[in-house]
Structure 1
Amino acid sequence: MNELSKYLCLLLRHQPEKAELDMDSHGWVSVEQLINGVNKYSSYKLDRELLEKIVFEDNKGRYRFDDKHDKIKCCQGHSVSWVEPELNYCEPPEFLYHGTTTKALEAIEESGAIKKMKRHAVHMQADINKSWQSAERWHKTPVVLEIAASEMYKEGYKFGVTENEVWCTEEVPVKYICDRIYEK
């Protein structure tokens, strides 16, 4: 099921064309079309019951159904250029956390900022434990960066939060990195 969930993320965040999905400007696709596309264009077998289970059990809350469960999307993390994530723009908490690796931290410090790379935004968490999940998924030496989000906001940076409580902003200059945390 984990591999199928990763494949769904690939389709719903990065490559909807692999399953011929008609994705709208916020990343929503028809559940029926997703199931049919997965079954037709991959080696996976998906039905509504399995899809519901994947969405319900996802520990990061990546997926969302609409009210009728006719449509599905990923909440954030899109690299599809024309998808605009649905964010609630508001003031962030005093500190947010960004999970990464020590190798990526070197590149961040060299460039002068945490960049969004191919995605629509830099992702951060209010819960440091969720940032550790992100940092550890790369199977390299993890590090969590503490970000002075409130200070950034007061200095004009915009923050939006997704339905699954991921905080997003365009970039984070290194001067707002308060701490580098190397152990849980």
Structure 2
Amino acid sequence: MDKKLKSKSKFLSLVLRHQPELIQLPLDANGWADIEVLLAGAARQGVNISLQDVLEIVATNDKQRFALSGDKRRIRASQGHSIDVDLQLTPVTPPDELYHGSATRFTDAILATGLQPGQRRHVHLSADVETAHKVGSRHGKPVIFRIDAKALTLAGHAFYLSANQVWLTDAVPPQYLSLLDTSPQG
């Protein structure tokens, strides 16, 4: 994705996940927005984004952050919201282990308090170490946590799988996570 399109993708993330009011964008209860209304609101804010840009972002975003409705008239973020939306996620049984990538500077806090959603609606988890490593790398020197998803499920915690294959849960208490040794010898 080129720089201009990446910038537009970040703008879409901002208004669809966190601040729709920035462009007076109404979202329905499930987070869907009319694309034409989104484009008009963006234009009012001086953001030059076209329908073709939106379609290209949805089609080429490697994280599949966005989904289009069947008629391609509406768009929503697949997950990562800080605003209250119902993504109509159904609880599903996760793999026995999941992973969470973070930066090493957060290790002590995570080990002490577990994983919390912060300003988001859910904690985001990965099905594989490679993805978790990429996520952690975005925040600094990465550290990977192994999540005992099987034990969490048995303890009554619900898991959801977003449209873009991100595992979601409300929180991960510290007793269900451990540091994964990703050193060359580990």
TM-score clears 0.5? yes
Name which of structure 1's ranges 64-73 and 141-150 shifts more when overlaid on structure 2: 141-150
What is the rounded CA distance, in whole Å, between the counterparts of 1:26 and 1:181 in structure 2? Answer: 39
Gaps spanning 5+ residues in structure 2: where? none
Query: Paired residue for 2:52?
Result: 49
Residue 5 (str. 1) matches residue 14 (str. 2): no
Q: Confirm or deny that 1:103 pairs with 2:97.
A: no
Which residue of 5, 27, 32 maps to 1:28? 32
**CA distance in 2: counterparts of 1:178 and 1:92, whole angstroms:** 17
Q: Deviation digits for residues 77-108 of structure 1, max 9, x if unmatched?
A: 1111x312331311100111111111122221
TM-score (norm 1): 0.92
Q: What SS is found at the alignment partner of 1:89? A: coil
Q: For residue 131 of structure 1, what is the aligned residue in structure 2?
A: 132
Report the equivalent of 1:91.
93
Per the alignment, do residues 183 and 165 of structure 1 end up closer, same or farther by CA in structure 2, a change over 3 Å counting? farther
Q: Secondary structure of the residue that 2:67 maps to in structure 1?
A: strand
Shift of residue 182, structure 1, vs aligned partner: 4.2
Q: Is this contact kept in 2: 1:143–1:183, CA < 8 A?
A: no
Number of residue-to-residue matches in the alignment = 180
* CA drift at 1:51: 0.8
Q: Deviations over 1:19-52 (max 9, x none)?
A: 110011111100111111112113x311111111
TM-score when normalising by structure 2:
0.91
C-alpha contact 2:114 2:177 (8 A) present in aligned 1: no
Report if the CA contact (8 A) 1:142-1:182 is conserved: no
3-state SS in 1 of match to 2:115: strand
% identical equivalent positions: 31
> CA distance change for structure 1 residues 181 and 7 in 2, over 3 Å: closer, same or farther?
farther
Deviation at 1:130, TM superposition (A): 1.9
Contact 2:116 2:171 in 1 (8 A): yes
* Match of residue 171 from structure 1: 171
Moved more, 121-130 or 10-19: 121-130
Larger strand proportion, structure 1 or 2? Answer: 1
Residue 136 of structure 1 deviates from its aligned partner by 1.3
Report the CA distance between 1:180 and its aligned residue. 2.6
Match of 2:80 in 1: 77
Q: Which runs of 5+ in 1 are unaligned?
A: none
